[in-house]
Amino acid sequence: MKSALPKVMHTLSGKPLVQHVVDTAKKLDSEHQVHLVVGHGAERVIEHFADSSVSIVEQTEQLGTGHAVAQALPHVGTESVTLVLYGDVPLIQQKSLSDLLALVSDRSMALLTAIPESSSGYGRIVRNAQNQVLAIVEEKDASEEQKAIGEINTGILAVQSSKLHQWLPRLSSNNAQGEYYLTDIIAMAVADGLIVETSQPEYIEETLGVNNRMQLAELERFYQSRQAELLMINGATLADPARIDVRGELTTGQDCFIDINAIFEGKVILGNNVTIGPNCILKNCIVGDDTVIEAFTSIDDAHISDLCNIGPFARVRPGTKMEQGSKLGNFVETKKAHIGKGSKVNHLTYVGDTVMGEGANIGAGTITCNYDGVNKHLTQIGDGVFVGSNSTLVAPVKLAAGSFIGAGSVITKDTEEDKLSLARAKQVTISKWKRPEKLPKAGGQEQKALEKEQNTSGSEQT
């Protein structure tokens, strides 16, 4: 990967590769335990899973896959079934694993195989004339005849744990790599009279590992194409299925339209007839029916009700709630703001730590001064309040219902219902004012005289 970051911590769809695998494993059975064997870059991986139920097992020496599984063996009871997965194979699906586990019995183990376009670099599945699996031969140890086999080992297998306790101590590193191959247990299983059952995934991409950034990008595109297909199958219209990124869980209602380059992070729920404009980012939010999100809008951890309109170029920060029919226009930013039903904040405005009633209208350039350098304070805006452009509301302050704030006001005190409030300097005209002139570059009497004249003009203005 040519990176200081451990490979399995590189992200696909906004989530570390290994987290994809752990999440899929956890879906299989709420009773089972996930053991994560870590080696290179262990500290970063351990830190990431510090608050999870994943059991961390360190492999201080990297001596092969068999050696890695052996490190976890002391934590695995003999009455269980062990499923072996890989932290750099992120797209394995729950169904593929469930199908595999169903093949395990007292007389059989299960192996996930695949037939890729090219088998180069993979261990080959060796079968007998009856099509029974006999062994897996790694490419570096394979003969020319074995290299011609198209069926490959994905590395993913399931077996009764008691068998692993028997076989792993018998592994040898007598091979081209000088490593303990987990794949050698296939031949041991056959020797012990077990049947090696096989299954294959729906998509070959489920079995592909990541070893460089090109492979990571390829899997990212496959993953996103699958997300786009599912969205369209569920009734959403995508302007271009190749230009959408779902980095979490996106749920759409009927007849949603999503324009190009939209990014969805975390858990996002869209109602019916929602329109998402181009280049929008939605994260951990709910958007109600018939709402329109205009281009270049960012919404994070917010609740948007029905029939709202947001953007373009709006930023809706955490804690914002918009009631039915409310509107945020271009270059509006909100944070911990409750925007009342039918209220409008049309443009070039910041509203933070605010509770706004119904039918309020906030003019361009208005800001709520919610932070005094230490603490945040609340601005309360009643029903039907009109705030003129370029006003400053210094919290804590309450604008009573029906208040009208004159443009350019700095409001520091609570207002009265249905009254006009003004708080701005008186306009004056300076009759002897003179427009400033650029000083000459060279010094001398001319420059001094000009400076004296300008100083005199400044005194008259004062």
- 414-427 pLDDT, tens digit per residue, is 999 999 999 998 88
Residue 317 has pLDDT above 80, yes or no: yes
Identify which of 259, 260, 253 has the alpha carbon closest to the alpha carbon of residue 236.
253
Q: What is the pLDDT of residue 438?
A: 86
Torsions phi, psi of 118, nearest 5? Answer: -130, 130
Alpha-helical segments (H) within 175-259: 184-191, 213-233
Give the chain's mean pLDDT: 94
Residue 454 has pLDDT above 70, yes or no: no
Angle at 166 between CA 163 and CA 169, to 5 degrees: 130
Q: What is the pLDDT of residue 449?
A: 65
Least confident of 28-37, 66-75, 149-158: 28-37
Q: What percent of the chain has pLDDT above 70? A: 95
Q: What is the pLDDT of residue 451?
A: 63
- CATH class of the region 7-202: alpha beta
Residue 453 has pLDDT above 70, yes or no: no
User: pLDDT band for position 29 (50/70/90)?
Assistant: confident
User: pLDDT band for position 76 (50/70/90)?
Assistant: very high
pLDDT, greater one: 31 or 245: 245
Q: What is the DSSP string of 240-292?
A: -TTSEEEEEEEEE-TT-EE-TTEEEEEEEEE-TT-EE-TT-EEEEEEE-TT-E
Angle at 31 between CA 29 and CA 35, to 5 degrees: 90
Average pLDDT over residues 320-346: 98
Q: What is the pLDDT of residue 439?
A: 85
Average pLDDT over residues 350-357: 98
Q: Give the whole-angstrom CA distance, residue 242 versus residue 207.
A: 22
What's the token pair of residue 213? 């950034």
- CATH class of the region 213-421: mainly beta
Identify which of 304, 94, 116, 88 has the alpha carbon closest to the alpha carbon of residue 215.
88
What's the token pair of residue 260? 């190009």
Q: Which of 20, 48, 338, 347 is catalytic?
A: 347
Q: What is the DSSP string of 362-381?
A: E-TT-EEE-B-SS-B--EEE
Instruction: Confirm whether 347 is a catalytic residue.
Output: yes
Instruction: Judge contact between 372 and 354, C-beta under 8 A.
Output: no
Q: What is the pLDDT of residue 461?
A: 47
Distances, alpha carbon 95 to alpha carbons 16, 98, 100, 243, 256, in Å: 21, 5, 8, 27, 29
Q: What is the pLDDT of residue 436?
A: 87
Average pLDDT over residues 243-250: 97
Q: What is the pLDDT of residue 448?
A: 65
Contact partners, residue 459, CB within 8 Å, separation at least 6: none
Residue 460 has pLDDT above 60, yes or no: no
Q: What is the pLDDT of residue 447?
A: 62
| 3-state DSSP percent of the chain in helix, strand and coil, to 5 | 25, 30, 45
For the chain, count helices (H), then strands (E). Answer: 9, 33
Instruction: Judge contact between 379 and 358, C-beta under 8 A.
Output: no
Q: What is the pLDDT of residue 462?
A: 43
Burial zone of 261 (CB within 10 Å; 0-12 exposed, 13-18 middle, 19+ buried):
middle
User: pLDDT band for position 413 (50/70/90)?
Assistant: very high
- DSSP character for 426? P
- DSSP character for 132? -
Average pLDDT over residues 213-232: 98
Average pLDDT over residues 38-57: 94
User: pLDDT band for position 440 (50/70/90)?
Assistant: confident
